A and B are shown apart, each in its own frame.
Chain A
Amino acid sequence: AQSVSQHNHHVILSEAASLELGCNYSYGGTVNLFWYVQYPGQHLQLLLKYFSGDPLVKGIKGFEAEFIKSKFSFNLRKPSVQWSDTAEYFCAVRGYSTLTFGKGTMLLVSP
C-alpha cells in the first residue's frame, strides 16, 4: 500500500522567510506526486505535480518541489513567503491507483 508522511503539522513563519515543507512517501513503483493547497474558506487546488522528467517542478505562486527518488521525498519550497501563503498544504502520491494524501501542514505566515 502507498502512504504519505508530512513532517510538520504546523509551521509559523514571518514574511520573507524561506519555506520548506517535508513530504515522504512509501511505494516501490513509479509514482506521480502532487502538492495541493487549501486557502482559508476555499477548495483544495493543485499547487504543482510531478509526472516524469525533470525532478524539479515549478508550480503556481513561486512554489517548487524536488522529487528525490532515492529518498522517496517530494519537498515543497518557496524562497520568500508572503502573508497570502497562509494555508494548509497537502502532499499526495499516486502509485497504482488512487491518490493518497498526507495529513497536511498548516502554514501561518505573520506579516
Chain B
Amino acid sequence: DVKVTQSSRYLVKRTGEKVFLECVQDMDHENMFWYRQDPGLGLRLIYFSYDVKMKEKGDIPEGYSVSREKKERFSLILESASTNQTSMYLCASSLLAGATNTGELFFGEGSRLTVL
C-alpha cells in the first residue's frame, strides 16, 4: 500500500512565523501535491510537482512556497504565517497519469495548522 506521511498532525503557530510542513511518500511516485481543505470550500490546490526540483502553482499559491529536493519528499513553506492560513493541509502523491493510469491521488492524514 502507498503510504504518504505528513510530519505533523497538529501545529499551532503565531502570525509572522515561518512554517514548514513536510510530506514523504514511499511509492516512488513522480507527482506530489499540496492541498488545503476548508469547510464548505472543498480541496484547493496550492502547489504541485512533477519531478525533483520542479514545481507548479496551483489555484491558490499566494503566501506559500514549496521545495522538492528529493523524489520522495515535498515540503510546503509558509514564509510568514497569517491567520487566514489556518486550515487543514493535505499532501498527496500519484503516478504520472497516462494511457493506462488515471493518476489517482493517495493522501496523507493531514496537518491541521492554527495560526494565532
Listed in ascending order, the chain A residues whose CB lies under 8 Å from chain B are 9, 32, 34, 36, 42-46, 49, 51, 90, 94, 98-104
Contact = CB atoms under 8 A, between A and B. Distances in A.
Given A43-B109, A44-B90, A98-B48, A34 B42 contact: no
Contacts, number: 47
Contacts of A42: 109
A72 B78 CA distance: 37
A103 B42 contact: yes
A44 B94 CA distance: 14
Interface in B32-90: 33, 35, 40-45, 48, 58, 90
A103 B107 contact: no
Interface residue tally of chain B, by bracket?
20 to 34
Contacts of A99: 45, 103, 105
Contacts of A100: 45
22 contacts: A32-B102, A32-B103, A34-B104, A36-B105, A42-B109, A43-B90, A43-B108, A43-B110, A44-B43, A44-B107, A46-B105, A51-B102, A90-B42, A94-B103, A98-B33, A98-B45, A99-B45, A99-B103, A101-B42, A102-B42, A104-B40, A104-B42
